[in-house]
């Protein structure tokens, strides 16, 4: 079967990532998935190859590549049947320090993150009682001498067990004492190595997919005041600043998934013979695959557009949100078409379809749910009344 056209941007990077991923085939991911284990070897290989430091400027030891290159890396990982969720946050969480941290903080953390000596890939925003309503979060950070004392709880804090540092969003001024509702939250870097057992507890959550996600509890945890990023009270703005990058990168993963499903489906549809002919000869089998292909290629264009605007330093909230929305929908359509094409075998572990199906479903909900993107577009782009 003729291979499908591939994107032609960053050919060497794409080739390199594909070669690396070939060392981690479906059997590798299946085994980890079964036991809900963390892909240590894969993450180490990506780190050593420098891919996770691609967005860190060269001054701090990274390769200073554009976001389009980072999206291509994640796309290739997912397009190879793997999953970048174990480490994608190492690429972009540091952006908050890069954009809003002091010079001393950048020098202290970024070179070690770039070298992979330090993992900053845990992001503590979501809480059980506030969920999507980030401004309603209840975890507090109270200044006491040279420290902040943290109390509260986070949920779905992914990779906390495999990270040295966590970027934490906590309330430093009570909600009823702030002038504007977006104020009063602050970003702190928590050193998990010091915090574990001295006010911080991590509890894994067994989930539908292998995602190393956890609940985190803070009980009078002391964090040095020098770990505050930027100005106290402005943390929500800093987190929002990082969201376009996250949306573009996650959209890249969705495109990789979509392409993997389409490739897998068209191959199977050509080879599986039922009623004396390939099942792919039936339009009822062809059309969902063709539709998913069209959806994923269209979404890929939006991802490219969003990345180009981001890399050009131009506003891209609209495009980054649409890229994430369309790419997540495309990957889900492709997952559905692929599973259906495989009939009963789609449910068998050894085809990897059911694993990828579970994995790609996440993008309808996290890191931002589809409804919240639609609400953003409705309000901020289409000028409709605010719904919440």
Ligand X SMILES: Cc1cc2nc3c(=O)[nH]c(=O)nc-3n(C[C@H](O)[C@H](O)[C@H](O)COP(=O)(O)OP(=O)(O)OC[C@H]3O[C@@H](n4cnc5c(N)ncnc54)[C@H](O)[C@@H]3O)c2cc1C
- 371 makes contact with ligand X (CB under 6 A): yes
According to CB under 6 A, which one of 3, 314, 383, 388 is a site residue for ligand X?
Answer: 388
Shortest distance (Å) from residue 90 CB to ligand X: 12
Residue 246 bears catalytic tag: yes
Question: Beta strands 214-224 and 228-229: pairing type?
Answer: unpaired
Give strand pairing partners of 196. 200
- 98 makes contact with ligand X (CB under 6 A): no
By beta-carbon proximity to ligand X, the closer residue of 131 and 204 is: 131
Spatial CB neighbours of 281, under 8 Å, sequence gap ≥ 6 = none
Shortest distance (Å) from residue 3 CB to ligand X: 32
Angle, to 10 degrees, between the axis of helix 235-271 and the axis of helix 283-311?
A: 150
Shortest distance (Å) from residue 159 CB to ligand X: 7
Q: Contact, 227 vs 150, CB < 8 A?
A: no
- 218 makes contact with ligand X (CB under 6 A): no
Listed ranges 190-198, 220-228, 315-323, 360-368: which one lies at the site for ligand X (CB under 6 A): 360-368
According to CB under 6 A, which one of 138, 372, 377, 378 is a site residue for ligand X?
Answer: 372
According to CB under 6 A, which one of 147, 201, 286, 369 is a site residue for ligand X?
Answer: 369
Shortest distance (Å) from residue 266 CB to ligand X: 29
According to CB under 6 A, which one of 362, 363, 373, 376 is a site residue for ligand X?
Answer: 362
Choosing from 75, 183, 246, 359, the catalytic residue is: 246
Contacts with ligand X by CB under 6 A: the residue count is 23
According to CB under 6 A, which one of 157, 244, 295, 331 is a site residue for ligand X?
Answer: 157
- Residue whose CB is nearest to ligand X in the complex, by number: 131
Q: Contact, 335 vs 260, CB < 8 A?
A: no
**In Å, how far are 66, 245, 249, 285, 370 from 92, measured between CA atoms?**
12, 7, 9, 39, 21
According to CB under 6 A, which one of 102, 132, 144, 281 is a site residue for ligand X?
Answer: 132
- 360 makes contact with ligand X (CB under 6 A): no
According to CB under 6 A, which one of 131, 136, 315, 343 is a site residue for ligand X?
Answer: 131
- 123 makes contact with ligand X (CB under 6 A): yes
- 211 makes contact with ligand X (CB under 6 A): yes
Rounded to the nearest angstrom, the gap between the alpha carbon of residue 294 and the centroid of all alpha carbons in its chain is 24
Shortest distance (Å) from residue 6 CB to ligand X: 29
- 173 makes contact with ligand X (CB under 6 A): no
Shortest distance (Å) from residue 229 CB to ligand X: 16
Contact positions toward ligand X, by CB under 6 A? 123-126, 131-132, 156-158, 207, 211, 213, 362, 365-369, 371-372, 375, 387-388
Residues annotated as catalytic (active site), given as ranges:
246
């Amino acid at each position: 079967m003729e291979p499908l056209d591939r994107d032609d941007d960053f050919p060497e990077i794409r080739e390199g990532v594909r070669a690396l991923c070939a060392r981690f085939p479906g059997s590798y991911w299946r085994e980890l998935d079964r036991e809900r284990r963390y892909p240590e070897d894969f993450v180490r290989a990506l780190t050593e190859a420098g891919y996770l430091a691609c967005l860190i400027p060269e001054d701090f030891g990274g390769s200073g590549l554009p976001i389009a290159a980072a999206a291509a890396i994640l796309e290739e990982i997912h397009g190879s049947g793997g999953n970048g969720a174990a480490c994608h946050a190492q690429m972009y969480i540091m952006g908050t320090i890069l954009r809003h941290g002091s010079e001393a903080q950048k020098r202290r953390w970024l070179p070690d993150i770039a070298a992979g000596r330090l993992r900053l890939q845990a992001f503590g925003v979501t809480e059980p009682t506030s969920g999507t309503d980030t401004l309603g979060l209840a975890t507090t950070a109270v200044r006491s001498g040279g420290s902040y004392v943290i109390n509260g709880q986070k949920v779905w804090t992914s990779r906390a067990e495999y990270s040295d540092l966590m970027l934490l969003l906590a309330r430093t001024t009570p909600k009823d004492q702030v002038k504007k509702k977006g104020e009063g939250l602050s970003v702190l870097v928590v050193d998990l190595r010091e915090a574990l057992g001295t006010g911080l507890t991590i509890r894994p959550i067994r989930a539908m997919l292998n995602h190393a996600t956890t609940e985190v509890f803070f009980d009078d945890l002391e964090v040095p005041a020098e770990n505050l990023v930027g100005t106290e009270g402005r943390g929500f703005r800093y987190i929002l600043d990082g969201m376009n990058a996250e949306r573009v990168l996650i959209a890249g993963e969705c495109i990789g998934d979509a392409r993997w499903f389409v490739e897998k489906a068209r191959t199977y549809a050509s080879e599986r013979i039922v009623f004396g002919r390939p099942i792919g000869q039936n339009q009822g089998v062809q059309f969902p695959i063709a539709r998913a292909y069209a959806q994923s290629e269209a979404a890929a264009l939006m991802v490219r557009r969003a990345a180009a605007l981001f890399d050009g330093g131009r506003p891209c909230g609209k495009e980054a949100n649409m890229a994430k929305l369309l790419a997540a929908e495309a990957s889900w359509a492709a997952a559905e078409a692929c599973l259906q094409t495989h009939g009963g075998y789609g449910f068998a572990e050894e085809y990897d379809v059911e694993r990828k199906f579970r994995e790609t479903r996440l993008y309808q909900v996290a890191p931002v749910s589809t409804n919240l993107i639609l609400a953003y577009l409705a309000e901020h782009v289409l000028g409709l009344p605010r719904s919440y």
